[in-house]
Amino acid sequence: MDLTEYKRLYGGQDDAAPGWDAIDKCVKALYPHQEPKHWGTVTSYMLGGPDPLDGISAYECREGGQDHLHFCTYGFTSLYYDEEAVGGDFSRCGFELTFRLAAELPPREEPIWVCSLLQNLARYVFKSGRWFGEYHWIPANGPIRAGFDTDLVGLAFLRDPMLEPTDTPHGRVEFIQLFGITGSEVAALKAKACSCEEIVEGHRSHNPLLITDLSRRDR
């Protein structure tokens, strides 16, 4: 899309959000009859608010052999009308994060901790200038859900198994999914005893959507 076409389609609209709309189109294609649970920021990060992500949505999913919530972020990419972003190879960071959390459906509690986790990852990206890609990993320096009894103390990253990359008016967007990993898996990665790809693909054979289950115990 060139700038002329971009202006014709979106110019003059105070609420134009072509990047956001492109993400919505991808995710809602998976859940066409579902209204997601959505958490938005009160004050934009650009206006001094504390949260870098403008929004996080969660859909109920029963695929992959385990009921779960499928989260998707809005904010790592260029969401709103931006003539300078038109025609770029990648939209801002080039990815949005997703996360699949094993949960009873509908969930019995508000998974606010997931929003905090995703916002903290966004702070890390925006402050460090680094980004996440397939088979990256990080230790969480504690349980991925603070104050909760879980052996998951790190995160691996992979391409979301159901969300294909998409081309938006601001450039390409990939969907990078988090997957919780245990202390022994983090230790093996630190010692270079195995690769993140080996860990992720080892789980995929019995967990095809790489759903994070907080009750998964370390070996």
Per-residue pLDDT band for 81 (boundaries 50, 70, 90) equals: very high
Give the model's pLDDT for residue 14: 80
Q: Locate 14 and state its tokens.
A: 């105070």
Give the model's pLDDT for residue 49: 73
Q: Locate 207 and state its tokens.
A: 């967990």
In three-state form (DSSP H/G/I as H, E/B as E, the rest C), the secondary structure along 89-143 is CEEEEEEEEEEEEECCCCCCCCCHHHHHHHHHHHHHHHHHCCCCCCCCEEECCCC
More confident residue, 175 or 51: 175
Q: pLDDT digits over 106-121, tens only?
A: 998 999 999 999 999 9
Cβ count near 25 (within 10 Å): 11
Measured at the CA of 46, the angle between CA 3 and CA 70, to 5 degrees, comes to 85
pTM, full prediction: 0.94
Give the model's pLDDT for residue 182: 98
Give the model's pLDDT for residue 211: 98
Q: What is the dihedral of CA 72, 77, 81, 87, to 10 degrees?
A: -130
Q: pLDDT digits over 2-52, tens only?
A: 899 999 999 888 889 999 999 999 999 999 999 999 999 876 676 667 889
More confident residue, 144 or 42: 144
More confident residue, 139 or 141: 139
Give dist(CA 10, CA 30) in Å, integer: 26
CA distances from 215 to 18, 102, 109, 115 (A): 39, 9, 16, 19
More confident residue, 175 or 1: 175
Give the model's pLDDT for residue 87: 86
Q: Is 210 left (phi over 0), alpha (psi -120 to 50) or beta?
A: left
pLDDT above 80 for 129 = yes
Give the model's pLDDT for residue 47: 62
The type of residue at 18 is P
